[in-house]
Structure 1
Amino acid sequence: MAYDEGLAELIRGDLGERSGISERRMFGGLAFMLYGNMVCGVTSQGAMYCVGKAREAEAMRIPGTGPMEFTGKPMGGMVAADDEAMADDGRRAALTRLAFEHAESLPAK
C-alpha cells in the first residue's frame, strides 16, 4: 500500500522553505531529511517523526502519538502520529520542532 500523498503535502507545508531539506523514498514511503538526517516521513501506516531517544518521552506525551513500529518492534527515537494528531496544527508543530531539534544536533551526512 502506498503512502498518503495528502499527508506528505501537509508535512511539506510544515517544513516550509528551510534550507537543507530533501526527500528520500524509504520504508515504502517518503522520508524528509535535513542535511541527510531524517526529520519525519510518511508510510502506508501514516506519519512518523524522528525525535531521537532524548526527546522520545516528550514526543509521546503529545496526544495522538505512539511508538513507531515496523515488524512489530518499536524503533527507538521515532514516534508515530495518528490522524487526529496530524489534523491538529499545534501537535504537528510540536512534533516538527522536536524532530528538527534532533536532526540539527547531528552532523550532516
Structure 2
Amino acid sequence: MACNETLANGIREIIRSFSEEFTEKKMFGGLSFLYKGKMTVGIIKEELVVRIVSEKEQAMLDFPYVRPMDFTKRPMKEFIYVSEEGLKTEEQLVQWITLGLEHAKSKLK
C-alpha cells in the first residue's frame, strides 16, 4: 500500500479518542478512514486527503500547505490534499480529522 504508515498510525491513535466509530479501506491507491461508509480522511503516499464541506473548502485552500485534490488531473470537489507541513502537530491532525468527520456526517442527513 502506497501511504505513510507513520501518518496512518497517528490517525488511528487520534480516532480512538473520538466517540464515533471509523473503518479503514484501501482507496485511491492509499488508505482511507470512513465514518458510516463515508470517507473522512485518507493518505496517498505522503499527503493527507481530507473531505471538506463545500462551504469551508475555499478557506482551507488558502493555507499554503493545502491544495485541491487533483488525483484525476482535475480538481475534485470537496477533496483537498494537505502536505506534511500542515501535519506537524497532533492538534493540526485532529483539526483535519474533525473537518473530514463533519463532511461525512453532512452526507448522512
Aligned to 2:25: 24
2:10 maps to 1:7: no
| Distance (whole Å) between structure 1 residues aligned to residue 66 and residue 6 of structure 2 | 19
| Distance (whole Å) between structure 2 residues aligned to residue 32 and residue 90 of structure 1 | 18
| Distance (whole Å) between structure 2 residues aligned to residue 24 and residue 63 of structure 1 | 28
Which consecutive segments of 4 or more residues in structure 1 shift more than 6 A? none
Aligned to 1:59: 60
Moved more, 80-89 or 25-34: 80-89
The alignment's TM-score, normalised by the length of structure 1, stands at 0.84
Q: Give the drift of 1:80.
A: 0.5
Q: Which amino acid aligns with 2:74?
A: K
User: How many correspondences in the alignment?
Assistant: 108
The alignment's TM-score, normalised by the length of structure 2, stands at 0.84
Aligned to 2:50: 49
Q: CA 1:45/1:73 → structure 2, altered by over 3 Å: closer, same or farther?
A: farther
Q: Give the root-mean-square deviation of aligned CA atoms.
A: 2.0
Q: Secondary structure at the match of 2:81?
A: strand
* Cα deviation 1:37-82 (Å, max 9, x = unaligned): 0000011252110113222123223441111111321111011110
Identity %: 29
Q: Identify the structure with the greater strand proportion.
A: 1
Structure 2 residue runs of 5 or longer lacking an equivalent are: none
Q: Which amino acid aligns with 1:22?
A: T
Moved more, 66-75 or 51-60: 51-60
Structure 1 residue runs of 5 or longer lacking an equivalent are: none
Aligned to 2:85: 84
Kindly indicate whether the alpha-carbon contact (under 8 Å) linking 2:46 and 2:84 is maintained by their aligned counterparts in 1: no
